[in-house]
Amino acid sequence: MVEIGELAPQFCLPGADEKEICLKDYQGRWLVLYFYPRDNTSGCTREAVDFTSALPRLQELGAAVLGVSRDSPASHRKFAEKHSLKVTLASDQDHRVTEAYGAWALKKMYGKESYGAVRSTFLIDPEGKIAHIWKKVSVKGHADAVVKRLGELVQK
């Protein structure tokens, strides 16, 4: 579990294009790192579409957006193409990065328990430190809340 003010756990993951995406690639700029359960589900699609819509405002504030799930790079490619997504997606098939950020937990759905990604967002500052955390995210209005918080932090 990471805390605000701590250095973000380092990682390298394959992107939708199979090229490696590393946290260090974002050094010197803000990063919106969000973890989501699965490509092409209603909530995850809405979240990715909302972040895509918010991307110009986030970029104006100096931020990039990276979405992470257990889906394969091929799944991410199809997901991005189907929904015209502009955010970068990375594949964490062994969920080690999701676990390192504390976004992996026991979940209960329809009476069954299983481990999975908990929708979570981490705002990482240009020095690589956790600046803000949203846990158990509700999708509606979330991308706007991230833009608002980033704007507040950039103003400081």
Residue with tokens 């950020």: 101
CATH topology (fold) of 26-155: Glutaredoxin (3.40.30)
Which amino acid would we find at residue 12? C
Per-residue pLDDT at 33: 98
Catalytic annotation on 12?
Answer: no
Per-residue pLDDT at 117: 87
pLDDT band at 16 (very low <50, low <70, confident <90, very high): very high
Per-residue pLDDT at 47: 96
Among residues 32, 44, 66, 146, which one is catalytic?
A: 44
Longest distance between any two alpha carbons in the chain, whole Å = 46
Per-residue pLDDT at 114: 81
pLDDT band at 108 (very low <50, low <70, confident <90, very high): confident
Give the chain's radius of gyration (CA, Å): 14
Per-residue pLDDT at 128: 97
CB 98 within 8 A of CB 92: yes
The DSSP 8-state label assigned to residue 151 in this structure reads H
pLDDT band at 56 (very low <50, low <70, confident <90, very high): very high
- What kind and span of H or E run contains 91? strand 88-91
